[in-house]
Structure 1
């Protein structure tokens, strides 16, 4: 596989890990000192995700339109994302969906390509953002 293929595959693994709440797999795809969604460090990232989707029902992260630029042992990917969140508990029956673009910076490590910085720019929102909530 090419570096581009490896990064696109890693993006799919990250999306599936978030949907499965598989935090160990997610941790393996980010550098320990990552900055993602405003959180610092991989532990901060996991804590932030748990705070936003820990009390959500099913989620599905759909990715596409990958643009990957590799420069030696660093890379940048821009990827469209459409993320659907199903409400649970008091928000059962509601949904929140956002669409936008992931901007990821990557470094090649002994463990493979890892995200060192991630940002998601939301461009479209549908539904009830109050669906996002921590586990009770």
Structure 2
């Protein structure tokens, strides 16, 4: 059995965020990725800065993705800074949303970056702060 470095563990947590979201594994997101409370900044998408319970984030995302058939995130170019039990991560990310029955194009793409803060507790690394920085969006943004 191989042992992950701290950096690898942190990146694994960020990757789980995207994979679990794409597969709608809401319970795994709450148990393996998020801290109990998360500072969420989606102002670049027209949202607000909010302090939410992890289950509130999952409920919001679950409702938001109900009419979307497929969600696919790709992330990379990780820059990781670790200071004791805290870490900061920068990552580029794209998200593609696909809706089979959309009339004006089946996809919309969001391109940007994330700034994450993670804390390490007895369960491992958990995201307690995330900010999305939208650079641009393409496609049928309303998926109608």
Residue 39 of structure 2 corresponds to which residue in structure 1? 35
1:11 to 2:14 alignment = yes
Distance 1:92 1:56, change over 3 A: farther
Measure how far apart 1:19 and its partner are: 0.5
The worse-fitting range, judged by mean Cα deviation, of 93-102 and 83-92 is 83-92
Q: RMSD in angstroms over aligned alpha carbons? A: 1.8
The alignment partner of 2:142 has SS state of helix
Measure how far apart 1:105 and its partner are: 0.5
CA distance in 2, matches of 1:88, 1:23: 23
Gaps of 5+ in 2: 43-48
Equivalent of 1:95 in 86, 90, 107: 107
CA distance in 2, matches of 1:16, 1:92: 27
TM-score (norm 2): 0.84
Please give the per-residue CA displacement for 1:37-70, whole angstroms capped at 9, x wherever unaligned: 4441112211221232221111110001000100
Equivalent of 1:51 in 49, 63, 68: 63
Gaps of 5+ in 1: none
CA distance in 2, matches of 1:23, 1:47: 8
Superposition pairs of residues 59-70 of structure 1, within 5 angstroms: 59-70=71-82
Deviation above 6 Å: which 4+ runs of structure 1? none
CA distance in 1, matches of 2:103, 2:19: 23
CA distance in 1, matches of 2:102, 2:96: 18
1:105 to 2:108 alignment = no
CA distance in 2, matches of 1:41, 1:20: 20
Contact 1:86 1:92 in 2 (8 A): no
